[in-house]
Structure 1
Amino acid sequence: MKRLLFTLVALACLHYSSLVFAQNSIYDDLPQFAKNWSKPTEQPDHIILTFSGDPSTQQSVTWRTDATIKNAVAQITIAYAAPRLRKTAVNVMAKTETMDATAIKTAEVVSNYHSVTFENLLPDTLYAYRVGDGKIWSEWFHFRTASKTAKPFSFLYVGDAQNFILELWSRLIRTGFSKAPEASFIIHAGDLVSEAHSERQWHEWFTAGGWIHGMLPSVPVPGNHEYRPLSDAPQPDKTKNLSVQWKPQFTLPENGPKSLSETTYFFDYQDTRFILLNSNTNQQEQVPWLESVLKDNPNKWTIVSFHHPIFSTANERDNQELREMWKPLLDKYKVDLVLQGHDHTYARGQAGSVAKNELAGINKLDPNAGTVYVVSVSGGKMYNFRKDLWNNYDANLERKAENTQLFQVIKIDGDQLLFEAYTATGELYDSFSLQKKQNAPNKFKEQVPSTSERLHNNTIPKY
């Protein structure tokens, strides 16, 4: 009996030590990168598509070189199956901005960022483009403009990439693209990197996405990790600055509040309005602007994205002030879907969807639902879910997960919206649909697959 007890204790200790080792190894034994790996050269890199105007007639592209490239150009043509695209391509001169971050710790680089907005494009048309200086060119990329009218489309949404970006986020974003190759764009709900000004981490992000960034337009919002002091010197007012790379590397709409240029904005895409908010700063200033773009909205669907969740999912977190400022407007204008990050777990539920049955003493899901809220994480950093779940919120939690990298595919087709969440290995984990009803709330249909809820205690490895 003593020998058996000793064996069980030894096995338990071995199991515990293996978990500790796994935890330490993933956080401490990080990949190393070659010296100057993230430095720019004459060759265009960090090539990324973004929207800055009407997606049916305009498309923006931004890229990076070293400071020796002072005059840059993009070429564009309708994409033909025949080669020699340069024969039909036209030149568009780029705007060039020098980012001198030599004095900023973790940045410490001088780069030139070049941007072009292609204009007067044909709607719903496949284009090919490349960027360079007239001699040194990138490869040719494709993109398709939006339709001028309502038409079925899909897009991807991911939560925080933030940590282990090249190591682990790379597989997630590539699986996402493989699962939804026809997606029109991808929403990044903040914390794209962990250290706002880190040139190495931004290079990880661009390398992990690779050519996907040049083919699939990105729609980013900043997270709290995109805000950091510019130096280690004491900051009396605890000032945190937006990543020095943010504005040079993303060409985004400037239709939000002036103080939040290119961090708060909106665009319309095939009968859907997308509103991107900055939940890090000047939240109250965004209220009247948010109401104006919600009120004057001719589109059938409305989707909002920002970083900090209205209903927190991680321990020791709650964004009460944000909830009190923004949720009344989301309710008033019947926003369909809110996409968030920050809490490094997965949660999906509805506000205003809990009808309490006083006699039975239970909560029952109302299929004629209010706004659906989602929190998700795409990188390798994971948190524990709140012990009280969403019990103290006026919302119903319908699906959750821990310790799981996820991406989401959202499909809109007329009066139907289909939401699907997939793991990094391509398995469907969550799904629901919304159906538009005239002068009535959306009809909600639960479509969760018959897979077990993923928690720390039943996922491997545990860290």
Structure 2
Amino acid sequence: MRYVPQLFFSLLFLFNINVAVSQNSYPDNPVFPSSWSKPTEQPDHIILTFSGDPTTTQSVTWRTNTSIKNAVAQITIAHAAPRLRKTAKDVQAKTETMDAGNVREAELSANYHSVTFEGLLPDTIYAYRVGDGTHWSEWFQFRTASKKPEPFSFLYVGDAQNYILELWSRLIRAGFGKAPDARFIVHAGDLVSTAHSERQWHEWFTAGGWLHGMLPSVPVPGNHEYNFKTKEDSVSRTRSLSVQWKPQFTLPENGPKGQSETAYYFDYQGARIIGLNSNSSQQEQAVWLESVLKNNPNKWTILTFHHPIFSTANERDNKELRELWKPIFDKYKVDLVLQGHDHTYARGQAGSVTKNFLAGINKLDPNAGTVYVVSVSGGKMYNFKKDLWNNYDANLERKAENTQLFQVVKIDGDQLSFEAYTVTGELYDAFDLKKSGNGPNKFTERVPATTERLHLNTIPKY
């Protein structure tokens, strides 16, 4: 018996060594079966988007292989009885073939099917499924928007881009867990890293899973949604929008000429949500944006695009974009701008600090102009550039490195509340905006008493 403890500790030591070796050798890029991302007869990549009035319409898109040429969706007002098909009506889908057999990293053909449900009742829960009469998806549910400016919330995330199935999956699930009543989710570009990669898009859809079919997505393209299609394109340096983008997202076609389904807007319960494509045609979008902001009956205005007005990472600076678009934001008193690209977290306001020269201190102005946010939701992280926002006419009020974050935005009448959470559910940043007539918003900061997250203090020591 006296040898048992020695044997026990020897085995424990060996076990710990094996665990350490296993952890250290775990690949950053898992290998998937060659057929893993290929479509079949069964509907997949099911996703809700807005393409019209969210009070009376809802769009859904899905994918199959090319053998499915006639697709259909069924929809009914949701009820607690399980026989939903008894009350459901059929809506014929539009089908388009994405022939990407010669596109590098896509290298397949697939049929994409889309339906826009019309004539829906406002503020009503509907159930739907998609298929071809034989192969069906599960039943999903969604709620239409109210015609009144009722309170609502939505999720906003920055770049998913890398380690999508590995790490972005937990982020998107944590976001839904924190805000299960959110009405939609804003994706501020770089959903994938390689624009035409079928494997990466399949990772993105798999990571979101059934959430994509329940919670409408509001995506804008980032720089990684553009890439070379062929070897000839790489020689001529001609980058094209992801071949999957338009087939898989049914988005509003109310944007400027040449930017269909990459720049657009919709109204939701007292808020105008505007998506811009910061990759191209910035001048044309500026003209269009001014018209959309000038004729805006909504109380709140929220913009999203990929490249930040005020950059934080890798010595970047989008000066031309800032000089072109920011004056329009200022002129029309845009409330909130949601961005990505820099793989850090940054939140602040333009010209939001006043200097008390007698006391020698800075004081946050309680009257806020536009609030700018940059965030990251995936696993790729950058360092802050050394001068942060010091060279901008702006004040950086909260920042983070090496942290996966999601954001919850709540609108209730005259108040907008913003909260940023880490992937483990910790509140990291928060503020409120309050409407005050025609003047600037009243700003209330609610930053929790937690240590600022930087690379050096976010790496576990166990």
TM-score (structure 2 length as normaliser):
0.93
Q: Which residue of 1 aligns with 2:100?
A: 101
Q: How do 1:259-408 and structure 2 match up within 5 A? A: 259-408=258-407
Q: 1:314 touches 1:345 (CA, 8 Å); kept in 2?
A: yes
1:13 is matched with: none
> 1:154–1:412: 8 Å Cα contact kept in structure 2?
yes
| Contact 1:22 1:461 survives alignment (8 Å) | no
> Residues 118, 321 of structure 1: CA spacing in aligned structure 2 closer, same or farther, 3 A cutoff?
same
- Residue 356 of structure 1, CA deviation: 2.3
Matched, 1:54 2:56: no
Match of 1:7 in 2: none
Task: Within 5 Å, give how 1:114-193 maps onto structure 2.
Answer: 114-193=113-192
2:405 & 2:28 partners in 1: Cα distance? 23
Contact residue 283 and residue 322 of structure 1 kept, 8 A: yes
SS in structure 2 opposite 1:259?
Answer: coil
Q: Deviations along 1:277-332, whole A, 9 cap, x unmatched?
A: 00001111101100000000000000000000000010220000000000000000
The 3 A distance-change label for structure 1 pair 248 and 24 is: farther
* Alignment of 1:246 onto 2:234: no
Q: Retained in 2: the 8 A contact 1:257–1:289?
A: yes
Instruction: Tell me, yes or no, if the aligned pair for 2:313 and 2:344 is still in contact at 8 Å.
Output: yes
Superposed CA offset, 1:135-174 (max 9, x none): 1100000000000011000000000000000000000000
| Cα deviation, residue 364, structure 1 | 1.9
| Aligned Cα root-mean-square deviation (Å) | 1.5
Q: CA deviation at 1:96?
A: 0.1
1:438 aligns with 2:437: yes
Q: Secondary structure at the match of 1:344?
A: coil
| Distance in 1 separating the partners of 2:24 and 2:287 | 47
1:421 aligns with 2:420: yes
Shift of 1:461: 4.5
Q: Distance in 2 between matches of 1:296 and 1:395?
A: 28
1:303·1:336 contact (CA, 8 Å) conserved in 2?
A: yes
One-letter code aligned to 1:87? K
Output the CA distance in 2 between the equivalents of 1:240 and 1:24.
37
Distance 1:73 1:195 in 2: 31
Counterpart of 2:166, as a letter, is E
Query: Aligned in 2, Cα 1:22/1:282: closer, same or farther, shift over 3 Å?
Result: farther
In structure 1, C-alpha distance between the alignment counterparts of 2:452 and 2:338, rounded to whole Å? 21
Q: What does residue range 14-53 of structure 1 map to in structure 2 within 5 Å?
A: 29-53=28-52
Give the whole-Å Cα distance in 1 for the aligned partners of 2:234 and 2:376: 31
- The percentage of counterpart residues that share the same residue type is 79
Deviation per CA, 1:4-31: give whole Å up to 9, x if none.
xxxxxxxxxxxxxxxxx999968x6311
TM-fit CA distance, 1:237: 4.8
Q: What is the rounded CA distance, in whole Å, between the counterparts of 1:199 and 1:448 in structure 2? A: 40
Partner residue in 2 for 1:89: 88
Equivalent in the alignment of 2:17? none
Residues 126, 311 of structure 1: alpha-carbon distance in 2 compared, 3 angstrom cutoff: same
What CA distance in whole angstroms lies between the structure 2 residues aligned with 1:321 and 1:172? Answer: 33
- Write the letter of the residue equivalent to 1:41: T
Q: Identify if the C-alpha distance between structure 1 residues 304 and 22 changes in structure 2 by more than 3 Å, giving closer, same or farther.
A: farther
Question: 2:210 is matched with which residue?
Answer: 211
Deviation of 1:214 after TM superposition, in Å, equals 0.0
CA contact (8 A) 2:160 2:376 kept: yes
Say whether the 8 Å CA contact 1:420–1:430 is kept in structure 2: yes
| Distance in structure 2 (CA, Å) of the matches to 1:188 and 1:442 | 25
SS in 2 for 1:440: coil
- Alpha-carbon offset, residue 236 of structure 1: 5.7
Report the Cα offset of residue 46 of structure 1. Answer: 0.1
User: Residue 292 of structure 1 aligns to a residue in which SS?
Assistant: helix
Name the residue aligned to 1:9: none
Matched residue of 1:131: which SS? strand
Superimposed CA distance per residue, residues 75-100 of structure 1 (whole angstroms, 9 cap, x where no aligned partner): 00000001010000000000000001
Counterpart-to-counterpart distance in 2, 1:406 and 1:212: 18
Per the normalisation by structure 1, the TM-score is 0.93
Contact 2:28 2:163 in 1 (8 A): no
- Displacement after TM superposition at 1:115 (Å): 0.1
SS of residue in 2 equivalent to 1:130: strand
User: CA–CA distance in 2 between the matches of 1:23 and 1:390?
Assistant: 38
Partner Cα separation in structure 2 for residue 107 and residue 257 of structure 1: 28
Give the 3 Å change call, closer, same or farther, for CA 94–29 of structure 1 in structure 2. Answer: same
Q: 1:456: Cα distance to partner? A: 0.2
List runs of 5+ in structure 1 lacking aligned partners. 1-20
Please state whether the residue corresponding to 2:440 is helix, strand or coil: strand
Q: Following the alignment from structure 1 to structure 2, what is the Cα–Cα distance between the partners of residues 172 and 235?
A: 34
Q: SS of the residue aligned with 1:192?
A: coil
Deviation at 1:232, TM superposition (A): 2.7
Q: C-alpha distance in 2, partners of 1:419/1:190?
A: 20
> In 2, distance between residues paired with 1:154 and 1:204?
26
Post-superposition CA distance 1:227-271 (Å, at most 9, x none): 001113354652210000000000000000120000000000001
Name the CA distance, whole Å, in 1 between partners of 2:184 and 2:236.
38
| Offset, 1:351 | 0.8
CA 237–330 in structure 1, closer or farther in 2 if over 3 Å, else same: farther
1:381-439 deviation digits (Å, cap 9, x = unpaired): 00001211111011111000000000000000000111000011111110000000012
Quote the Cα distance in structure 2 between the aligned partners of 1:436 and 1:308. Answer: 27
1:62, distance to aligned residue in structure 2 (A): 0.0
